[in-house]
Amino acid sequence: MSRLWVRFSLMIAGVLFLVFFMQFLSIIVPHAARLEPPDIGGPPDSEIARRLIDFMILSLLIGLAGGVLISRVVSAPVSAMARAARRISEGDLAVTVPVRGSYELEELARAFNTMAADLRHAEDLRRNLMADVSHELRTPLAALEANLRAALDRVAPLDDVTIAHLYGQTRHLARLVNDLRDLALAESHKLPLERQPTDMSALIAETIQAIAPLAEEKGISLTAAAEGLPELWVDPVRIRQVLFNLLTNALRHTPEGGAVTVTGAYRAGVMRLEVRDSGEGVEPEHLDAIFDRFYRGDQSRSRATGGTGLGLAIVRALCEAHGGAVSVQSAGRRRGSCFVVTLPG
């Protein structure tokens, strides 16, 4: 009964039945009321013609009334969606339509509400991105402007130290812009992925080798236990970026003499990668927010030592783009943390 075609069929059938039933009554009732014996020869032609004309007029009136009723019943939800669409076009993205009616209308209403929710999400992403960009660009741009203005006014010499500082600010800006671009593309599901069969054990070993000098410089032990992993159909460049971001984050928050370990396992069609460190750890109330843009658990950490604040957000976006996920586990401050990446096989 919830199918639109079923309801339409029943309503039309009811109208037609009513029309034919009225025709039947228009012929039978007069004879029954007069209690006359049936006329073997039947009614004269003029009477039949008159009754047919009456029947045509009655059918027309009933058909018009039934058509109006049917159109109102069918078009009311569609009209409500049209009004809601106009409100969305005017900027009211909070509008939704009730999910009711036939199966098809319910599906249409759900699709409309999903579209409205996606538009709200996209608008929230746009506003947050603009706010984040303006906030994060303000400090390095202000530093560049101040140093250059001082050099132009001959207040401070433009020596090698100042030039190196300005160069560091420009590098930070370049990293920030690139990270924001990757994050925006990934969150909007428009980041191109060049998937290919990838040896995950070799990929982990290459990433460890690339980041080993940074670990040696900080006096941190960096090891891996991920031999014998099967190939995955992934984008090796993006997965290497995931591992690199997780490892640099672990090294940044692990003190000298600590350890960072990468492990991998494949079970039931799922690849599980773990990056475990013995560093600062994460307090329980911060676990849900650690993958947000520009999140820093230590608010006293500067941009110079804390990176752009987008590394973990990019990790989550890239994992989700591959159909996987990332999570973090930690027993609290100074008790280390473990980032877990799962990728479908």
pLDDT tens column, 154-183: 887 778 887 887 888 888 788 888 888 888
Cβ-Cβ contacts under 8 Å for 290 (sequence gap 6 or more): 282, 297, 312, 328
From the CB of residue 266, how many other CB atoms can be counted at a distance below 10 Å?
17
> In the prediction, which pLDDT does 215 show?
93
Q: What tokens were used for 117?
A: 């929710």
228: DSSP letter: T
* 98 is a domain residue: no
d(CA 245, CA 179): 11
User: Is 200 in the same domain as 177?
Assistant: no
257 dihedral zone (left: phi>0; alpha: psi -120 to 50; beta):
left
Confidence class for position 302, pLDDT limits 50, 70, 90: very low
User: Is 88 in the same domain as 138?
Assistant: no
Long-range contacts of 78-81 (CB under 8 A, 24+ apart): 78/105, 78/108, 81/108, 81/109, 81/112
CA–CA–CA angle 279, 328, 125 (5° rounding): 120
Q: Of 41, 58, 92, which marks where a domain is finished?
A: 92
Domain interval for residue 160: 112-187
Answer whether 97's CB lies under 8 Å from 112's CB: yes
User: Is 139 in the same domain as 181?
Assistant: yes
Q: Of 162, 187, 212, which marks where a domain is finished?
A: 187
Of 23-32, 33-42, 115-124, the one with minimum mean pLDDT is 33-42
User: Is 25 in the same domain as 74?
Assistant: yes
Question: Over the stretch 44-78, which tens digit does the pLDDT of each residue have?
Answer: 556 655 666 676 677 667 766 766 677 667 767 77
Question: Over the stretch 261-280, which tens digit does the pLDDT of each residue have?
Answer: 999 999 988 999 999 999 88
Of 51-65, 94-108, 156-170, 208-222, the one with minimum mean pLDDT is 51-65
Q: Is the pLDDT of residue 150 over 80?
A: yes
User: Is 174 in the same domain as 46?
Assistant: no
CA-CA distances (angstroms) from residue 231 to 111, 247, 270, 317, 340? 37, 21, 11, 22, 19
User: Is 249 in the same domain as 314?
Assistant: yes
CA-CA distances (angstroms) from residue 24 to 19, 52, 58, 61? 9, 11, 12, 17
CA-CA distances (angstroms) from residue 336 to 62, 97, 102, 200, 259? 79, 48, 55, 25, 10
| Phi and psi at residue 266, to the nearest 5° | -130, 120
User: Is 298 in the same domain as 201?
Assistant: yes
Q: Is the pLDDT of residue 259 over 60?
A: yes
Of 86-90, 131-135, 238-242, 293-297, the one with minimum mean pLDDT is 293-297
